[in-house]
């Protein structure tokens, strides 16, 4: 028999969509406090927020006559009609938060507006009003939420320990604090201060308070705008990474959300800079046209839809990639004294020295390429004829490189002349240093190649610094970029195998091979059906000659089988990196001085010479000062 539920049951069910745990309560009330214009917000909890939550703000307060209405379902001051959802700028707008929280807890509200002589104290338990009275209080609003889920024990038993729930709230307050550095936030857990931000608008200060000196000292600022989209904040140097996405913070129009488009853009931009299965640290504030944004897709407003998702992806990807490619990213492994490191950082800022020779030579090569923009544009047009959609499959099974590939997208100077002009040009001391003749032909002899260490590492001395190059990582990166560019330009050469190899495949492998045969041919494999399940492999990519051709070929097929038979961009890049790794010179292998010197020259011509395709550094360095400190020649 179909029955209409009573209002009490309806409210509890509705509350379950908005209030999952104590952190949900904190999120809704803090967002309301921000919407009220508060400049200082305090969050206090006990027992993980299960028994006690207090949110205090200095915002505009709630007028006395509107207090009771505020706790009704769908009562809100943020919108009045459906069209308002298209331009909503507040964090809250549904009018469900207070009614949902009051339905499953014991709520006390104290509020006062600036034009009132007294404030209002209002108490509501489980959706039932208990008291409303005038009270003396400062301007603003205080919410006290006690005994969450006291009347829904089935929900309460699914909460985790008080410590875990407190951790969720702590993380949430940190995220909100980073989204609004102009607001002072204070977080108190069981009487102990856990976070206190100044509200001075300095995002880096907040990052320092939350994550400490090691991360805040390795941040790269990012700020750009394009077509009604703006991005600002910080991206960390690649070696600041973690094994999960907890370091990825981004906010859209001030709202902390999760978006697959934004996440993918960030991670694609860092590809080959960070180790595989590692994720970067970013704090990004994005501003987009609210008319094209829909956050009304989830009860907790944690998801969004953006009608120009492709443009947003490209914008984020290109700007992060640009920042990473402009910086000196050779890690200095000698710095281990915080006091001395801070002193050296201060001296570095005062002296503003020129970049390292590796970076100077690389930039000079890129500038030389940029000097003929017509040639560069024609090259881009030529490559753009081979566009590969990573999410769809061409009828002719031609799996070709995507315009989302980081190798294409990371070249802002080659995209359009407009974009090139929009990028900042190095000025000041750096340009003076470059034009002084440092990047002339006689510069390279100043890099003194000392020798090979452990048959794997090469030592290079320059300008009172010791550089250590990993020969395998360096050659792997050279091979990787060479293979990628050859593939993009359709210049991959094949090496004939004599006699040809006959390879037997099972029905599943045969299906994968048929679907991706054009890709294999584009990569330099020459195949011919030999009848039934057997194929003749007549040629392999020239760059992999000397390796086990059959193993490489079967490895490709097996990977495609695991990934669902259709080549996607992640798998493509991974396989190119694998080919480069297998073809590169190995560690524990002797090289001549001439070979090492040639490898350095090749490495310096790369777009990103600092990391191998798997994210490991190709070069590290130590200053003469750091070495002398190790030998106690000088004191810290």
Instruction: Answer with the residue of higher pLDDT: 308 or 386.
Output: 308
Q: Which two tokens stand for residue 237?
A: 């140097």
pLDDT at 117 over 70: yes
Same domain, 417 and 277: no
Confidence category of residue 489, pLDDT binned at 50, 70, 90: confident
The pLDDT of residue 54: 97
Do 429 and 462 belong to one domain?
Answer: yes
418 band by pLDDT with thresholds 50, 70 and 90: very low
Task: Identify the band that residue 364 occupies on the pLDDT scale cut at 50, 70 and 90.
Answer: low
Residue 158 lies in a domain: yes
My answer on whether 524 and 493 are in the same domain is: yes
Looking at the structure, tell me whether residues 94 and 149 fall in a common domain: yes
User: Residue 250's domain spans which residues?
Assistant: 212-325
> Is 57 part of a structural domain of the chain?
yes
- Supply the CATH number for residue 150's domain: 3.30.565.10
Q: Cα torsion at 183, 184, 187, 191 (round to 10°)?
A: -150
CATH code where residue 247 lies: 3.30.230.10
Residues 6+ positions from 562 with CB-CB distance below 8 Å:
none
| Predicted confidence (pLDDT) per residue in 249-280, tens digit | 999 888 888 888 899 999 999 987 887 778 89
Residues 383 and 467 in one domain: yes
394 and 519 both lie in a single domain: yes
Alpha-carbon gap, residue 26 to 145, rounded angstroms: 10
pLDDT of residue 396: 36
Number of separate domains in the chain? 3
Q: Calculate ∠ Cα 231-234-239, nearest 5°.
A: 135
- What's the CA angle centered on 444, arms 442 and 445, to 5 degrees? 75
Q: Do both 40 and 65 map to the same domain?
A: yes
Whether 481 and 623 share a structural domain: yes
pLDDT at 529 over 50: yes
Residue 394: the pLDDT is 38
- Evaluate the CA torsion angle 585, 588, 594, 600 in order and state its sign: positive
SS (H, E, C) 367-430: HHHHCCHHHHHHHHHHHHCCCCCCCCCCCCCCCCCCCCCHHHHCCHHHHCHHHHHHCCCCCCHH
From 325, 341, 356, the end of a domain falls on 325
Residue 524 lies in a domain: yes
| pLDDT beyond 60 at 398 | no
- Alpha helices per DSSP H over 36-187: 67-70, 97-103, 153-156, 162-179
Instruction: State the DSSP code for 270.
Output: T
Residue 37 lies in a domain: yes
- Cα distance between residue 249 and residue 111, in whole Å: 32
The CB-based long-range contact list for 420-425 (8 Å cut-off, 24+ gap) reads 420/370, 420/373, 422/226, 423/322
What sign does the dihedral 324-328-334-340 (CA atoms) show? negative
Taking each helix axis from N to C end, the angle separating 471-488 and 593-604, rounded to the nearest 10 degrees, works out to: 50
Indicate if the alpha-carbon torsion angle 487, 491, 497, 502 is positive or negative.
positive
pLDDT at position 314 is 92
Q: Residues 222, 173: one domain?
A: no
CA distances 589 to 474, 562, 598, 615, Å, are 14, 33, 16, 22
From 268, 303, 325, give the residue that closes a domain: 325
Q: Which has the minimum average pLDDT: 38-42, 579-583, 600-604?
A: 579-583
- Find out whether 281 and 240 touch, Cβ atoms under 8 Å: yes
**pLDDT at residue number 420:** 36
Model confidence at 563, pLDDT cuts 50, 70, 90, reads: low
**Given 260, 292, 325, which residue is the final one in a domain?**
325
| 201: in domain | no
In a domain, 1, yes or no: no
Q: Are residues 281 and 149 in the same domain?
A: no
If residue 619 lies in a helix (H) or strand (E), which one and from where to where? strand 619-623
Question: Which span out of 194-203, 379-388, 495-504, 511-520 was modeled with the highest average pLDDT?
Answer: 194-203
- The whole-number pLDDT of residue 374 equals 46
Q: Do strands 184-189 and 192-196 pair parallel, antiparallel, or not at all (unpaired)?
A: antiparallel
Q: Are residues 316 and 342 in the same domain?
A: no
369 falls in which pLDDT band (50, 70, 90)? low
Residue 29 lies in a domain: yes
Q: What pLDDT does 43 receive?
A: 97
> What pLDDT does 391 receive?
35
User: pLDDT at residue 505 above 50?
Assistant: yes
pLDDT value at residue 184: 95
Q: Please list the alpha-helical segments (H only) found in 563-611.
A: 569-583, 593-604
Q: Which residue has the tokens 């990473």?
A: 324
Residue 133, pLDDT above cutoff 70: yes
Output the pLDDT for position 176. 94
Count of CB atoms situated within 10 Å of the CB of 514: 11
Is the CB of residue 164 less than 8 Å from the CB of residue 48? Answer: yes
pLDDT for residue 224: 94
Residue with tokens 């994550």: 211
Comparing 518 with 163, the larger pLDDT belongs to 163
Average pLDDT over residues 404-410: 35
Q: Are 449 and 578 in contact (CB under 8 A)?
A: no
Q: Is the pLDDT of residue 593 over 60?
A: yes
pLDDT single digits (tens) 205-244: 999 988 888 888 889 999 999 888 899 999 998 878 887 8
Whole-number pLDDT of residue 367: 59
For position 620, what pLDDT does the model report? 83
Residue 411 CA, distance from chain mean position:
19
Both tokens of residue 221?
């600022």
Q: Are residues 431 and 563 in the same domain?
A: yes
Selection from 240, 412, 405, 249 nearest residue 322 by Cα: 412
Report pLDDT digits (tens) over 45-83. Answer: 999 999 999 999 999 999 999 899 888 865 454 434 444
Q: Each residue of 618-630: pLDDT tens digit?
A: 888 888 888 888 8
Is 56 domain-assigned?
Answer: yes
Nearest Cα residue to 487 out of 521, 526, 528: 521
């Amino acid at each position: 028999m179909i029955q209409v539920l009573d209002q009490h049951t309806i409210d509890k069910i509705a509350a379950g969509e908005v209030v999952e745990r104590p952190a949900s309560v904190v999120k809704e009330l803090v967002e309301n406090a921000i919407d009220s214009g508060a400049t200082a917000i305090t969050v206090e909890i006990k027992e993980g927020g299960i028994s006690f939550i207090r949110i205090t703000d200095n915002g505009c307060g709630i007028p006395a006559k509107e207090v009771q209405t505020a706790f009704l379902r769908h009562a809100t001051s943020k919108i009045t009609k459906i069209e308002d959802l298209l331009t909503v700028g507040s964090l809250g707008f549904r009018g469900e938060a207070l009614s949902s929280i009051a339905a499953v807890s014991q709520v006390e509200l104290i509020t006062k507006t600036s034009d009132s002589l007294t404030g209002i104290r209002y108490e509501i338990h489980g959706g039932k009003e208990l008291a409303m009275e005038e009270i003396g209080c400062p301007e603003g609003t205080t919410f006290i939420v006690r005994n969450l889920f006291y009347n829904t024990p089935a929900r309460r038993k699914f909460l985790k320990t008080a410590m875990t729930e407190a951790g969720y709230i702590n993380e949430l307050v940190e995220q909100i604090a980073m989204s609004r550095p102009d607001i002072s936030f204070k977080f108190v857990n069981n009487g102990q201060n856990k976070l206190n931000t100044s509200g001075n608008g300095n995002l880096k200060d907040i990052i320092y308070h939350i994550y400490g000196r090691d991360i805040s000292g390795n941040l790269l600022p990012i700020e750009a705008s394009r077509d009604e989209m703006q991005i600002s904040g910080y991206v960390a140097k690649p070696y600041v990474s973690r094994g999960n996405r907890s370091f990825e913070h981004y906010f859209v129009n001030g709202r902390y959300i999760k978006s697959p488009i934004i996440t993918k853009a960030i991670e694609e931009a860092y590809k080959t800079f960070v180790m595989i299965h590692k994720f970067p640290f970013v704090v990004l504030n994005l501003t987009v046209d609210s008319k094209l944004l829909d956050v009304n897709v989830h009860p907790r407003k944690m998801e969004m839809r953006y009608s120009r998702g492709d443009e947003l992806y490209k914008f984020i990807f290109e700007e992060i990639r640009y920042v990473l490619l402009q910086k000196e990213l050779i890690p200095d492994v000698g710095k281990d004294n915080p006091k001395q490191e801070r002193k050296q950082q201060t001296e570095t800022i005062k002296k503003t020295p020129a970049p390292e020779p590796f970076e100077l030579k690389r930039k000079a090569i890129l500038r030389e390429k940029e000097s003929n923009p017509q040639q560069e544009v024609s090259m881009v047009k030529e490559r753009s004829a081979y566009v590969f959609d990573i999410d769809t499959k061409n009828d002719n099974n031609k799996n070709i490189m995507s315009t989302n590939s980081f190798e294409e997208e990371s070249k802002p100077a080659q995209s359009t002349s407009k974009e090139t002009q929009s990028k900042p040009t190095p000025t000041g001391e750096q340009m003076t240093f470059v034009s002084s003749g440092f990047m002339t032909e006689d510069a390279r002899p100043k890099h003194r190649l000392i020798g090979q260490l452990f048959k794997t590492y090469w030592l290079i001395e320059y300008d009172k610094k010791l550089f250590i190059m990993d020969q395998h990582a360096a050659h792997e990166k050279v091979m990787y970029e060479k293979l990628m560019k050859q593939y993009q330009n359709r210049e991959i050469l094949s090496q004939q195998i004599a006699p040809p190899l006959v390879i037997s495949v099972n029905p599943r492998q045969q299906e994968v091979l048929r679907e991706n045969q054009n890709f294999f041919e584009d990569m330099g494999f020459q195949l011919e059906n030999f009848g039934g399940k057997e194929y003749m492999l007549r040629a392999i990519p020239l760059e992999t000659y000397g390796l086990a051709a059959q193993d490489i070929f079967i490895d490709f097929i097996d990977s495609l089988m695991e990934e669902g038979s259709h080549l996607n961009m992640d798998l493509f890049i991974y396989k190119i990196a694998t080919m480069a790794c297998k073809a590169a010179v190995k560690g524990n292998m002797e090289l001549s001085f001439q070979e090492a010197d040639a490898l350095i020259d090749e490495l310096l011509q790369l777009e990103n010479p600092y990391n191998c395709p798997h994210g490991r550094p190709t070069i590290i360095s130590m200053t003469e000062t750091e070495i002398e400190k190790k030998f106690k020649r000088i004191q810290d």
